[in-house]
């Protein structure tokens, strides 16, 4: 076992989040510190990709804010992450749906899937 893996397993706290994949619509709640105050903010959007393993695992979410598309990359082991809620399960045929960025209107809809966990 290499040193990096040992340190990640021993010292990085693992949080339990529900299983999700590309095409799912999720809401991510995370903590924002502004000076001495902290508040919880959420980001709701479609998962574009999940990449990495273990301590370096990240996921990318995209949402539409008016006419502008906003993307955000969240590390899975980010200390500020509080919880993840799955709003809708989506059925897509790829693990990374970057083509989704170019779609507008009715074409940008994702079919509902009924898979478990």
Q: Which domain range does residue 42 map to?
A: 19-103
Domain presence at residue 86: yes
pLDDT reported for residue 116 = 61
Q: Is residue 3 part of a domain?
A: no
Note whether residue 66 is domain-resident.
Answer: yes
Residue 62 φ/ψ region, left for φ over 0, alpha for ψ in the -120 to 50 degree band, beta for the rest: beta
Domain count within the chain? 1
Check which CATH number belongs to the domain holding 80 and give it: 2.30.30.790
Position 108 scores a pLDDT of 82
What does residue 70 show for φ and ψ, rounded to 5 degrees? -120, 125
Is residue 9 in a domain?
Answer: no
Question: Which of 4-13, 19-28, 67-76 has the least mean pLDDT?
Answer: 4-13
Closest Cα to residue 79, out of 37, 27, 32? 32
pLDDT in tens, 20-64: 999 999 999 999 999 999 999 999 999 999 998 877 889 999 998
Note whether residue 14 is domain-resident. Answer: no
109 has which bridge partners?
Answer: none
The H-or-E segment that residue 20 falls in is: none
The token pair at 22 is 């590309």
């Amino acid at each position: 076992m290499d040193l990096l893996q040992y340190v990640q397993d021993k010292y990085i706290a693992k949080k339990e989040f529900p299983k999700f994949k590309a095409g799912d619509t999720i809401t991510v709640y995370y903590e924002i510190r502004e000076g001495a105050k902290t508040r919880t903010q959420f980001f709701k959007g479609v998962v574009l990709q999940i990449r990495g393993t273990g301590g370096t695992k990240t996921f990318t979410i995209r949402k539409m804010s008016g006419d502008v598309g906003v993307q955000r990359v969240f590390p899975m082991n980010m200390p500020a992450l509080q919880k993840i809620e799955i709003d809708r399960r989506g059925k897509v045929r790829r693990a990374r749906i970057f083509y989704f960025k170019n779609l507008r209107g009715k074409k940008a809809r994702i079919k509902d899937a009924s898979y478990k966990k």
